[in-house]
Structure 1
Amino acid sequence: MVYGTKAMMPMEFEHKTLRTTIALDMTMSAAQQERLLQLNALDEIRKLALQHKEIIQNQCMKWHDRYIKEKTFKLGDWVLLYDSSYKDNLGKSQTHWLGPYEVIETFSNGAVRLSIIDLIKFKLLVNGHRLRLYHEPLSKDEFL
């Protein structure tokens, strides 16, 4: 017990209907009905909030997916790999692309297995979003 507060029955901590009946001079069944109506209203508000959250998430997904470009790589393609260590460094004279690499294998989740085009075959597995196609430079004969 705390000095200055009303005494409450232990049952009233779980079921607040007794306090409601005393405060509003209602019968027990009317208080229970009022409490049920409040709980039903709360459930409806929660359902509306969940529906609203789903709508907003779908809108955000559509907005985000609108800017994703689908990249498809074939076996034998040459690609450049984005060097993420330069993400915050905006130097003009530094290249942000490494490579070229050769595509060995592509996976359904967007991952790509690469091989360095050197004497030593070193295999590397990277995310396909960090790659772009490498176009071989034109020779003078092809240019003219």
Structure 2
Amino acid sequence: MYLSAWAVKEINLDLEVVDEARLHQLNELDELRHEAYENHKLYKEQTKKFNDKIIEKREFHVGDKVLLYNSRLRLSLEQLKSKWSGPFVVTNVKAHGAVEVAKSAGTKFKVNGQRLKLYYKGAFICQVEIIYFDDAPL
């Protein structure tokens, strides 16, 4: 089969156009991947910032009385039983929120600080404001 010079030039031009279109598509694909990566990074930063707001910062000092959350009671059938046990005394505060507590002089153990809350003996005393309505509507 014989091809004219004009047909060969047309085929070469078509191949060049196709090559350029393919390179353009590959560049767009790289840009989309980069954009998706950046969106994922922003999402992770925002969720971390949100979750860090939820976490309560608790500071314990040696000698504080604390209550320990007992997570095993959550699955029990005894609904009226308290999920907090204690009070325990803080004997040592470790790095990254670990706290060493003791029930009595001999039993010491380490727990995560997120499972503890300060123990206040007795009820809170608060002021009660009494408002009298002289002209109450009927």
> If the length of structure 2 is used for normalisation, what is the TM-score?
0.70
Partner of 1:124: 109
Structure 1 distance, partners of 2:29, 2:75, is 48
**What amino acid does structure 2 have at the position aligned with 1:45?**
L
Aligned length: 112
Runs of at least 4 residues off by over 3 Å = 88-92
Matched, 1:68 2:38: no
Structure 2: distance between partners of 1:54 and 1:90: 43
Determine helix, strand or coil for the equivalent of 1:36.
helix
- Structure 2 spans left out of the alignment, 5+ residues: 1-10, 124-138
CA displacement, residues 53-92 of structure 1 (integer Å, 9 cap, x when unaligned): 1222222222222221100000111111000012244744
The one of 9, 15, 23 aligned to 1:36: 23
Q: How does 1:1-144 map to 2 (within 5 A)?
A: 26-27=14-15, 29-89=16-76, 91-116=78-103, 118=104, 120-137=105-122
Overall identity of the aligned pairs, in %: 35
The alignment's TM-score, normalised by the length of structure 1, stands at 0.68
C-alpha separation in 1, matches of 2:68 and 2:47: 29
**Unaligned 5+ runs, structure 1:** 1-21, 139-144
- In our comparison, the structure showing a higher alpha carbon Rg is 2
Secondary structure of the corresponding residue to residue 14 of structure 2: coil
Q: CA RMSD in A?
A: 2.2
